[in-house]
Amino acid sequence: MAKAVNPRKKALPAPLSIRLYAPGMTPLLRAGAGGLAASLRAILGSASPAAPWPSPVRLGPGTATVEREAIHLDWGGKAPEATLRALFGASFQVKQGFIDLPGTRSPGAPEPPPELAAALHDALKVTFLQHGKSTQGGARRRVTFEVDARPVIVESQGYDSFVHQTAWQSVLEALEAGATSLASWAYPGAAERHIGVRVTKVEYTAAEALCACFALVGCVSYKLPQLRGGAFVALAPTNLVRFAELRPGPTPKRLRDVAVAGASDAVLAAQLVMAQEAGKKRLGAVLGTTEAVALRQMPWNAQQKIRGAVVRQDAVREEVLDRYEAAAAALPHTLRVRKPEGKATGEASYFIATSALRAFITENLAASRPWYADFATATTAEGRFIHDYRDRDNLGALLWHERKGLIAMHPYLGEAEQWLVQSVHLALRSRFKSIYSDTKESAPATRSNRLKGERERLRLSFAGAKTPEQVRAALADLWSRAGTNRELQEHWRDILPLLGPERWRAARDLALVALASYQGKGGEAAELEDADEAAGASEPS
């Protein structure tokens, strides 16, 4: 006699498959699928170090299998809760009060030092975990380390737990009900547009919800010190198996690399590290769309940091990464000690100084423009001109040591562009040498004022040019005052098209690049080179 079936007993959900190119899989959700694959690789490496990748990964009663374009979860004949609990418990952890994501580290790699763990933790706080409800607070953690042989103490708010650790419940809800809602911790910037109008509500299927939860692992989070915000990069894979192997690469390994100068800097920084491991020519077979989102506090929303910029790259371009690598090497982020405010404690902290010039160059590179485009008009968020050297009393953003960054980018100019820059350099050398000779017997202050005054006159002449005629007049004035110019004599036919109606803005930008990158010789260099301390190389305001 057949056994009666209990009508109240729920049927087990079918195995869940996450497909990389399923409808609705945005770059962030595909990055989440990559984060899930990376987490599964970390779990496999911890449980079975000798097992080849990819192999089926045991998760409680269930298993997960990673393929090139899909991930399959089997519940092992049990309720999905047990499998999901095991998956989330191993993937989202808190150690010593700081968030720990095993999928962002290579299996067997040591845990980051406390100061780096604190910085990575803080980067997540200004991107995915901004809202107070997304975390359960713990004790404040104090970390001591050294910057330039000086002891530095940094405090960070530790956590007892965070929302991702129990987010398996939302995935379970989607498995049972067909859809679920997630807050902004899963998809920063995604929100219900009109309260009460269901069609504008953000809802997820079970596969999408699982990817959204693991976006914390698949994305790389950075700090944006100059904007007091953060940025995250969604790395959308084309090959989940290979991506899981490469994902630990972009995780910052040095404290200064936790910061970026902007969204474009974040995109290229993450791509470059992956390219260095996979090979620049082969990275396109692993990584598809890369999307960076900069989050900052806006005047109309003081409670949360919201999307201030989005930069998307649909393909990895080797020549762009080459240029970015040169700019990043010449303009690195630096750790600086913040002087203690009170004399009683004497405890110093640190901040990461980023380069406005690096932000400018990377924005152009990411947008497929010449790296110097709009150098004459570009400003920082606080209105400082990129082409002007910073002083306490002006609106310049450029620091003297950043001249090396401009020089490092000269090889990436076209031939005619290089000749224009070199002709301006020769003219500047002649002008400054003449001024130095005229004031050799004068007081040092007099000579310094003459040299700086000439530099400022030329800067205003180039930056203030608003027509092709004015650009030509400014260059002709410099060349005529300087006398014989070898570069101009030999290559004037090549330089001439830059002064026409179609490219005069490029000529203006290049003239200012030449002025800003000019390296003096002998006595004139001593008069022109201001120390960074005097130029106001301080922490972000």
Cα 418 to Cα 371: distance, rounded to the nearest angstrom: 13
Grade residue 395 by pLDDT with cuts at 50, 70 and 90.
confident
CB 243, CB 287: distance < 8 Å: yes
pLDDT of residue 134: 82
Q: What is the mean pLDDT of the chain?
A: 88
Cα 184 to Cα 130: distance, rounded to the nearest angstrom: 9
- Check pLDDT > 80 for residue 29: yes
| Range 22-49 average pLDDT | 95
CB 180, CB 203: distance < 8 Å: yes
DSSP letters for 51-112: S-SS--EEETTEEEEE-SSEEEEE-TTS-HHHHHHHHHHHHSEEETTEEE-GGGS-TTPPPP
pLDDT tens digits for range 310-363: 899 888 788 999 999 999 999 999 998 887 765 545 678 888 999 999 999 999
pLDDT tens digits for range 194-209: 555 555 577 899 999 9
- Check pLDDT > 70 for residue 51: yes
Which contacts (CB < 8 Å, 24+ apart) does range 274-282 have?
A: 274/235, 274/246, 274/249, 274/250, 275/316, 275/318, 275/321, 276/249, 277/246, 277/249, 278/242, 278/246, 280/316, 280/318, 280/321, 280/322, 281/318
pLDDT tens digits for range 265-295: 999 999 999 999 888 778 888 999 899 999 8
Q: Is the pTM of this model over 0.85?
A: yes
| Range 415-432 average pLDDT | 94
Residues in the chain: 541
| Range 414-440 average pLDDT | 92
Give the best-scoring range by mean pLDDT among 60-69, 304-313, 338-347, 386-395.
60-69
